[in-house]
Structure 1
Amino acid sequence: MRPPKQSNNPNVESAMLAVNHSDELESHCPPAPVINSSGNSENWMVLSVAGETPEPRFNHAATVVGNKMIVVGGESANGLLDDVQVLNFDTFSWTMASSKLYLSPSNLPLKIPSCKGHSLVSWGKKALLVGGRTDPANDKVSVWSFDTETECWSVMEAKGEIPVARSGHTVVRASSVLILFGGEDAKKKKLNDLHMFDLKSLTWLTLQCTGTRPSPRSNHIATLYDDKTLFVFGGASKSRTLNDLYSLDFETMVWSRIKIRGFHPSPRAGCCGILCGTKWYIAGGGSRKKRHAETFIYDILKSEWSVAITPLPSSITTNKGFSLVLVQHKDKDFLVAFGGCKKEPSNQVEVLIIEKNESSMGRRSTLSKFVGLMQFAKRSSSAGPASQTINGSSRSSVASAAKQNLASVIEHGSEADDRSGALSAPTSIYQFYDTRMAPLSRKNGILEVQLATALASRDTAERTLASALKSKEEMEKKFADAMKEMELLKEKLAGIELAHEEANNLSNIVH
């Protein structure tokens, strides 16, 4: 690991978990490694990885499933991308997923669309791709599922009030429910609608709220705190870049604008955000004219902004459309950035080590749900921060044990994450969901009964029609036979008339 633009080439043995790209983030904190290290890092450091390096990109999406970061699509110098790149945190090496195909409902293999400005959300062992600007384009928001074990795509056949297609939106997940907000449609119209997608019933529902809701926007960030409150920050409206902050209480379904006294970030769009405990870390972003480098912290409980770090100008956090990754531990937090574009697209990976106990930066974070145990070795040289590295010499004595611990912890950590996700339903969201969905379910049951009755009536009508058609055919046959008999009678009558006429002629001759 090294500062940006340095030439050191370290090798890294670690395991990390990620959240989503700059336009979308996950509220739950992932499992974290136990890190044995010395020294401090006060800036973003380049992280060296092995394997086949992905094509440089920006406006992509990323999420973590198990011990792998899944990166999908984005925009490169050659246009939109449709590939799936996987960064394995056991080996810290890149691979490209072999599959690009999914099966349609008719079992026809179709290629997933190239996309940018989409969202990627983890759910169990799958990565869910939601919306985005695609080629070919869609009229409605589509949801695809990528199975990380089989590396196969499948399309999720959604029903209900499906939102209009969009990009630059945000999607957060609470258990088996997705919350989608804002973005812009194919005509560049900014949106501020709110939708819920139930992953179990595959049903979309439009949420109606009161209060002061955010203005239409795209390329904002959002997060869900305690499964009760949705926060939305910044983004771009039709005419300007924003730095306003809103919250939505899912217990009352009321929007509120949060007014901050004192310091607050300048307007920015396309930034990245990660919620860990009560601290919301926000990096990068900017306007059409200027990109911002600072990494901010918003304290949800105190409702205060602070600056965590100002990176070097060469850091990829000053890029447009990069993604952000979170790694956590009892003593340290790691923010990991990937890709983005400044003058050219990038495929660089950078990491910022955050000392939780470092009071000068206010970086204390609380993990309330997921704590993992992993290991990797780090060695710091004595030449100063610019030359601090993680290299193979300090790994050699712990490599074997570390790999075994990593594999074991990731396996059990994933199982714990799945169990936690299955058992901890978001109370407030599901209360509202049940309130809205219960009458719809009852109505759906009534409609199903009516449909069954209608189908039975249709079957009866079809049988009656078939009987009528059969009777018609029989009557037509009888009519045809009657016509034949009539023709025969006509012929006999003509013969009788002819014989009668001949008889009359003979009678006249006799007389």
Structure 2
Amino acid sequence: MGEGINGDARFAAAPYDHWVLLDPAGGSPRPSARYKVLTSTRCCAGAKCSFFGCRDKLYVVGGSRNGRSLSDVQVFDFRTFTWSALNLTRDSNQLNHENNATGGSFPALAGHSLVKWKNNLVVVAGNTRSSSSSNKVSVWLIDVETNSWSAFDTYGKVPTARGGQSVSLLGSRLLMFGGEDNKRRLLNDFHILDLETMMWEEVKTEKGGPAPRYDHSAAVYADQYLLIFGGSSHSTCFNDLYLLDLQTLEWSQPDTQGAHIAPRSGHAGTMIDENWYIVGGGDNASGSTDTIVMNASKFVWSVVTSISARDPLACE
């Protein structure tokens, strides 16, 4: 899915390699249009499939509409082609939790990051309108089995609050790179959160990594490498690709082959086997109309398909 959501759901349908608009069944209500949303998918309960192998639901968490951050969670069911709102309640064990600034309501967020871990959607950081917002990164868990949410205390060297960062999951470790802090300072730091212990670690990498940026994309390949692509500074967008070896903590900038890829930020991506698919985004002047794929074993870029510049998928 691209970063902007207008209530439409789409497939890039094989073998034709083009996007197909899906109409919700039975006139089910669509979520309001929004910007800077995060999406996640989950497998069918009990199904023997990988995370990307059997996706029956799409979760849309928060975002921004007309300058107002949203707190709702919308769910698209691919089996029934219907949208529904997830009515979240706060975990009863947390009603007296010290991190209780939002009471029983899930916080309104934009520019946050989202990964699926076990039965939870892990929501990290983002921009909030709350006057009580911490100057440190916040972490929330949404349990999609119980439809409850929790705010979690984290420990160690907790990173400064930010939005537009990337997060990736490697086992039970959440990898966070870059973003923009509350003072609009661009970041290129790298942090790891152990989701079992909720302990943060700031990881010092070797020099030569990406310039500070936000609204980039990231993916883990072969359980050893973190890929960073694109993103934006305050004056320009990037089309560069960086590789971090998670064992040696050394950055490299691979020589890529194949199609020329235009700069973009605010795009979405997903890694399937050795192929990293990227859609949406833009360069502050126009949206990106191409859906692209990086073969991570060969560092070859290809264009899968293209859409009209007026299409909502070509959004920043």
- Is TM > 0.5 for Structure 1 vs Structure 2? yes
Q: Give how far 1:316 is off.
A: 2.2
Kindly provide the CA deviation profile for residues 268-294 of structure 1, in whole angstroms up to 9, marking residues without a partner as x.
111121111111112222211122201
The aligned amino acid for 2:197 is S
**Identical pairs, percent:** 35
**In the alignment, what sits opposite 1:299?**
295
**In the alignment, what sits opposite 2:18?**
43
Contact between 1:65 and 1:148, CA under 8 Å: does it hold in 2?
A: no
Contact between 1:271 and 1:286, CA under 8 Å: does it hold in 2?
A: yes
Counterpart CA distance in 2 for 1:81 and 1:40 is: 36
> Which residues of structure 1 form unaligned runs of 5+?
1-19, 24-36, 321-511
Contact between 2:88 and 2:106, CA under 8 Å: does it hold in 1?
A: no
Q: Are residues 91 and 203 of structure 1, via their aligned partners in 2, closer, same or farther at CA, if it must alter by over 3 Å?
A: same
Q: Are residues 257 and 42 of structure 1, via their aligned partners in 2, closer, same or farther at CA, if it must alter by over 3 Å?
A: closer
Q: How many residues align?
A: 287
Q: Give how far 1:145 is off.
A: 0.6
The aligned amino acid for 1:236 is S
Counterpart CA distance in 2 for 1:306 and 1:267 is: 15
Counterpart CA distance in 2 for 1:22 and 1:274 is: 13
**In the alignment, what sits opposite 2:124?**
130
Find the residue that maps to 1:83 and give its secondary structure.
Answer: strand
Q: Give how far 1:99 is off.
A: 2.1
Counterpart CA distance in 2 for 1:180 and 1:265 is: 24
Contact between 1:83 and 1:100, CA under 8 Å: does it hold in 2?
A: no
Report the aligned-residue RMSD.
2.2
Counterpart CA distance in 2 for 1:273 and 1:52 is: 27
Contact between 1:49 and 1:94, CA under 8 Å: does it hold in 2?
A: yes
Contact between 1:21 and 1:61, CA under 8 Å: does it hold in 2?
A: no
Q: Give how far 1:100 is off.
A: 5.1
Q: Give how far 1:117 is off.
A: 0.9
**Structure 1 position 105 matched with structure 2 position 97:** yes
Contact between 1:196 and 1:206, CA under 8 Å: does it hold in 2?
A: yes
**Structure 1 position 71 matched with structure 2 position 63:** no
Find the residue that maps to 1:135 and give its secondary structure.
Answer: coil
**In the alignment, what sits opposite 1:84?**
73
Counterpart CA distance in 2 for 1:138 and 1:106 is: 13
1:155 to 124, 132, 151: 151
Report which of the two structures shows the higher radius of gyration computed on alpha carbons: 1
Find the residue that maps to 1:247 and give its secondary structure.
Answer: strand
TM-score of the aligned structures, taking structure 2 as reference length? 0.85
The aligned amino acid for 2:31 is P
Find the residue that maps to 1:64 and give its secondary structure.
Answer: strand
Counterpart CA distance in 1 for 2:170 and 2:99 is: 31
Q: Give how far 1:41 is off.
A: 3.5
Counterpart CA distance in 1 for 2:279 and 2:42 is: 23
Counterpart CA distance in 2 for 1:187 and 1:290 is: 26
**In the alignment, what sits opposite 2:265?**
269
Higher relative contact order (CA 8 A, sep 6+): 1
TM-score of the aligned structures, taking structure 1 as reference length? 0.53
Find the residue that maps to 2:276 and give its secondary structure.
Answer: strand
Contact between 2:99 and 2:151, CA under 8 Å: does it hold in 1?
A: no
Q: Compare 219-228 and 308-317 and name the one that shifted more.
A: 308-317
Counterpart CA distance in 2 for 1:311 and 1:42 is: 11
Contact between 1:296 and 1:308, CA under 8 Å: does it hold in 2?
A: yes
Counterpart CA distance in 2 for 1:212 and 1:188 is: 23
**Structure 1 position 188 matched with structure 2 position 184:** yes
**In the alignment, what sits opposite 2:31?**
54
The aligned amino acid for 1:58 is Y
Find the residue that maps to 1:308 and give its secondary structure.
Answer: strand
Q: Give how far 1:89 is off.
A: 2.5
2:232 to 231, 236, 240: 236
Find the residue that maps to 1:45 and give its secondary structure.
Answer: strand
For 1:163-242, what aligned pairs fall within 5 Å after superposition?
A: 163-242=159-238
* Structure with greater strand share of residues: 2
The aligned amino acid for 1:54 is P
Contact between 1:131 and 1:143, CA under 8 Å: does it hold in 2?
A: yes
Counterpart CA distance in 2 for 1:153 and 1:261 is: 44
The aligned amino acid for 2:97 is P
Q: Compare 150-159 and 39-48 and name the one that shifted more.
A: 39-48
Find the residue that maps to 1:258 and give its secondary structure.
Answer: coil
